[in-house]
């Protein structure tokens, strides 16, 4: 299955080839919608590249008789050897978690049949352990 990033890269390459063909035919392609779309795709792909990969996948060469590569395995997790085909997979960052409000903690305590008998501090400790910091929304 093609990822959205791969599809955007393919679309960018197709548009650039089309622009080059139009230019070769004598058309002015220095302005217009095709330039706007190419620029937008380039910027989106560059912005996406700036995030760190979530993980890497690689393909293992399949060697035939005579020691020549005749194909590659399916994609496998991990980076593999440097000379093997590999790809970085990215994920867009999720929004930061917000701490619970005092009212939300109190409502949870009441729903569990507990008053504020030390569990309020326990709820805050759980938030800190999961790196949920800042002000409640």
The answer on pLDDT for 64 being more than 80 is yes
**Cross-strand pairs, 69:** 63
Strand segments (E) across 39-98: 55-58, 61-63, 69-72, 76-77, 86-89
**Judgement on whether residues 86 and 110 belong to the same structural domain of the protein:** no
Q: How far apart are CA 60 and CA 62, in angstroms?
A: 6
Range of the domain at 61: 54-91
**Judgement on whether residues 46 and 68 belong to the same structural domain of the protein:** no
**Judgement on whether residues 1 and 46 belong to the same structural domain of the protein:** yes
According to the model, what pLDDT value does residue 12 have?
83
**Judgement on whether residues 7 and 36 belong to the same structural domain of the protein:** yes
**Judgement on whether residues 119 and 137 belong to the same structural domain of the protein:** yes
The answer on pLDDT for 10 being more than 70 is yes
According to the model, what pLDDT value does residue 127 have?
76
Tens digits of residue pLDDT in 69-128? 888 888 888 888 877 777 777 665 556 677 888 888 777 777 666 665 667 777 777 777
Q: Into how many domains does the chain fold?
A: 3
pTM for the structure as a whole: 0.37
According to the model, what pLDDT value does residue 90 have?
66
Q: Categorise residue 100: left if φ over 0, alpha if ψ from -120 to 50, beta otherwise.
A: beta
**Judgement on whether residues 5 and 39 belong to the same structural domain of the protein:** yes
**Judgement on whether residues 107 and 63 belong to the same structural domain of the protein:** no
């Amino acid at each position: 299955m093609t990822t959205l990033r791969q599809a955007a890269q393919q679309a960018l390459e197709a548009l650039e080839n089309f622009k080059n063909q139009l230019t070769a035919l004598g058309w002015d392609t220095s302005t217009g919608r095709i330039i706007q779309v190419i620029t937008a795709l380039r910027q989106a792909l560059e912005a996406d590249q700036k995030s760190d990969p979530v993980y890497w996948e690689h393909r293992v060469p399949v060697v035939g008789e005579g020691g020549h590569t005749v194909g590659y395995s399916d994609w496998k997790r991990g980076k593999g050897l440097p000379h093997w085909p590999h790809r970085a997979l990215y994920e867009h960052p999720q929004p930061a978690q917000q701490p619970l409000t005092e009212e939300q903690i109190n409502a949870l305590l009441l729903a569990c049949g507990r008053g504020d008998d030390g569990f309020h501090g326990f709820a805050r400790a759980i938030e800190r352990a999961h790196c949920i910091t800042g002000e409640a929304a």
